[in-house]
Amino acid sequence: MAVHTVATPATPSQDVPAVDLGPAVALSCRECGERFPLGPVFACVSCFGPLEVAYDLPTGDPEALRAAIEAGPANIWRYAPLLPVPADVATKPSLNPGFTQLVKADHLAAELGVTGGLYVKDDSGNPTHSFKDRVVAIAVEAARAFGFTTLSCSSTGNLAGAVGAAAARAGFRSCVFIPHDLEQGKVVMAAVYGGDLVGIEGNYDDVNRFCSELIGDPLGEGWGFVNVNLRPYYGEGSKSLAYEIAEQLGWRLPDQIVIPVASGSQLTKIDKGFKELIALGLVEDRPYKIFGAQAEGCSPVSTAYKAGHDVVRPQKPDTIAKSLAIGNPADGPYVLDIARRTGGAVEDVDDAQVVDAIKLLARTEGIFAETAGGVTVGVTRKLIEAGLIDPSLTTVVLNTGDGLKTLDAVAPTTGPTATIRPDLDAFRAAGLATS
């Protein structure tokens, strides 16, 4: 099957094969609004704007739809009527991610001075311990629909593991590409599933450019790159975070939400999910603020936001938060639009603040976040101190991955409280008996 990257409008003379992706009916350009047939494409032929999935969503009684969702499986497929997947998706081999915990973080709230309710959406509970399982699950269904045989991606780590695992479960070959200097935990997790793992000499943006070249070459025939030629479908998986948060809050939207920003796709899709819930009558139409979180060593969107710019200038990443180290974020301008439209902001924290925030979340709530989670918690604290987050309102903070993947970040300052001889006198001498 030929792999295309630029969409062509449908005309009566075209033979456009029908695909079953549930309520998805077309691809729509986010810039000019032109529509195209569903296919493995991600850019508009008219203006080269990014494409996203357009739907014919359910209409009718919101209560009936809400009841149907609540009766569904305890994973992402409970929201199948709102996602670009076939109706029988739950019967197919899948990692079945989603419906992770929304933790009421009272101890963290007390530390940060939040009185209106603070929650951590902990996506480290997914099968490969990051939110990437959500987006890959949707991309797999698109890959099936379009007849691909190999799943691939460019990745800062978590996505590589998610693709390897999902491909193994679904029966695809996988070949994924990563920067050569990723955290060892993520390298091992990506390799253990038996697919091909290729390190590229360079940073994530170099990896992504290589993958774009491979798509246009005969070598890429039959390959579905989940975050390139399948990107419109892949991105929709992040909407499930919006759906779950609203459902877990009793079918209401949070007043404020803090989301880590790498490419920016997750933030834009959570906003899209909130708007869909409002349009469907599943939640009350009320204001909400969206805040983006970046690491100071790779903060192109935060820098643009603070400068009042609409254009995001690329940066060369230099941060321990490697899962967020995308110096040229595809959705950066849309993140700026959403932060400004909702009354939110985009902020960043340095590496020391990231480590401190990882430890703070672990100490207060028993959640060991990877560096991206440290960024989000650190930015939340910074925004509260700056008066940009209202501590009297309901606030949700995202933790998108497991700290076991980024041990190097905390290992230098974390270890045994004491090392003693195996006797009570030594324990007493160490001063631990009453600590």
Q: Tell me: pLDDT of 15 over 50.
A: no
Rounded distance between C-alpha atoms, residue 136 and residue 155, angstroms: 12
Residue 13: per-residue pLDDT? 32
Judged by average pLDDT, the poorest of 25-29, 57-61, 345-349 is 57-61
User: Which pLDDT does position 2 carry in this prediction?
Assistant: 34
Whether pLDDT at 177 is above 80: yes
pLDDT tens digit string along 277-297? 999 999 999 999 999 999 999
b/e string for 65-86 if b means 16 or more Cβ within 10 A? bbeebeebeebbbbbbbbbbbb
Q: What is the pLDDT of residues 209-258, one digit of tens each?
A: 999 899 888 998 999 999 999 999 999 999 999 999 999 999 999 999 99
DSSP per residue, 89-123: GGGS---------EEE-HHHHHHHT--S-EEEEEG
What is the pLDDT at residue 433?
79
Cβ atoms of 243 and 279 closer than 8 Å: no
**The token pair that represents 49 in the structure block:** 């704007």
Local confidence band at 10 (pLDDT 50, 70, 90 cut-offs): very low
Higher pLDDT, residue 369 or 215: 369
pLDDT of residue 9: 44
Mean pLDDT confidence for 88-101: 97
Quote the CA–CA distance of 166 and 226 in Å, as a whole number: 11
Nearest alpha carbon to residue 325 among 260, 266, 237: 260
- Asked whether residue 4 carries a pLDDT value surpassing 90, the answer given is no
pLDDT given for residue 435 in this prediction: 56
Share of the chain above pLDDT 90, in %: 87
Q: Write down the pLDDT at residue 11.
A: 37
* Element housing 400 (H / E): none
Asked if residue 17 has pLDDT above 70, the reply is no
Report the pLDDT averaged over residues 396-410.
95
User: Residue 313: CB partners within 8 Å, gap ≥ 6?
Assistant: 300, 303, 304
Helix, strand, coil distribution of the chain in percent, nearest 5? 40, 15, 40
